[in-house]
């Protein structure tokens, strides 16, 4: 069990503790995930749990105030499957800006948005830009899922409901991971090629439905998933984010 000093999550600490964190670091951390289908073996809250287990460690490492935020994200891409909740971009932007404005009012000068869900990115970037226009605040975004993909590129690819999504959930809520039910992955090569096309930085399609990539809603290899690897991934991704964020804020402050 972690000590109380390691807990920086606003919902679990007192008002004086939250105020003390903000006074020390002037840093607020907003976790961004999603509620969407992740096959028969992972919970619909996978993206939320994945970002929360990392955000807790990052908040402790940076001495930032970890804020509660929407479990739901911007994910019309998955809406054809029951179990998916999606917000409109304008709803998400307004919610993010309102939450950030609340903590800015109480002394936050730096905002770190930790994201696990790719579909949130456009809304996050716009909201962060607007916050910097309207307030005396610096905003930084860390894409935790991409960092995991970079760190484990020799072992696994970032696939929907694959190993890199199963591992952080296993580290945080192991009782929700049911690998024995992962019996219907979509064809890997076809899904991989379409996913790569979607993620291209040059020319890319805007796909309407995850089924265009994975007809069953998920694909990927789960062979590396175990408890030891789960804890390792959380530690490595968190450490990478802490170091990178410190360097970015240092650069911005010069």
- pLDDT, one tens digit per residue, over 8-32 is 999 999 999 999 999 999 999 999 9
What's the pLDDT at 1? Answer: 45
Confidence band for 254, pLDDT divided at 50, 70 and 90: confident
Cβ atoms < 10 Å from Cβ of 243 = 11
What are the residue boundaries of the structural domains of the chain, listed by start?
A: 4-253
Confidence band for 253, pLDDT divided at 50, 70 and 90: confident
As a whole number, the mean pLDDT across the chain is 97
Q: What is the CATH number of domain 4-253?
A: 3.40.50.10310
What's the pLDDT at 4? Answer: 65
Give one word for 217, left, alpha or beta, with left for phi > 0 and alpha for psi -120 to 50: left
């Amino acid at each position: 069990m972690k000590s109380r000093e390691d807990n920086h999550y606003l919902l679990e600490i007192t008002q004086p503790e939250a105020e003390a964190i903000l006074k020390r670091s002037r840093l607020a951390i907003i976790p961004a995930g999603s509620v969407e289908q992740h096959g028969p073996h992972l919970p619909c809250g996978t993206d939320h749990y994945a970002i929360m287990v990392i955000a807790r460690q990052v908040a402790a490492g940076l001495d930032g105030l970890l804020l509660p935020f929407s479990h739901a994200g911007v994910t019309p891409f998955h809406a054809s499957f029951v179990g998916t909740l999606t917000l409109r971009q304008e709803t998400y932007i307004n919610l993010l800006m309102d939450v950030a404005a609340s903590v800015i009012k109480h002394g936050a000068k730096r905002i770190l948005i930790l994201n696990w869900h790719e579909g949130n990115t456009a809304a996050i970037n716009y909201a962060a830009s607007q916050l910097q226009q309207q307030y005396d605040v610096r905003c930084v975004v860390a894409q935790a899922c991409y960092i995991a993909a970079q760190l484990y590129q020799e072992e696994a690819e970032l696939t929907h409901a694959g190993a890199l999504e199963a591992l952080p959930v296993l580290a945080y809520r192991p009782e929700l991971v049911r690998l024995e039910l992962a019996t219907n992955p979509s064809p890997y090569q076809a899904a991989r090629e379409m996913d790569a096309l979607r993620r291209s930085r040059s020319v890319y399609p805007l796909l309407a439905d995850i089924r265009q990539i994975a007809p069953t809603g998920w694909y990927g290899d789960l062979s590396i998933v175990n408890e030891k690897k789960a804890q390792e991934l959380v530690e490595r991704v968190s450490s990478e984010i802490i170091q990178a964020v410190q360097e970015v804020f240092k650069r911005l402050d010069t």
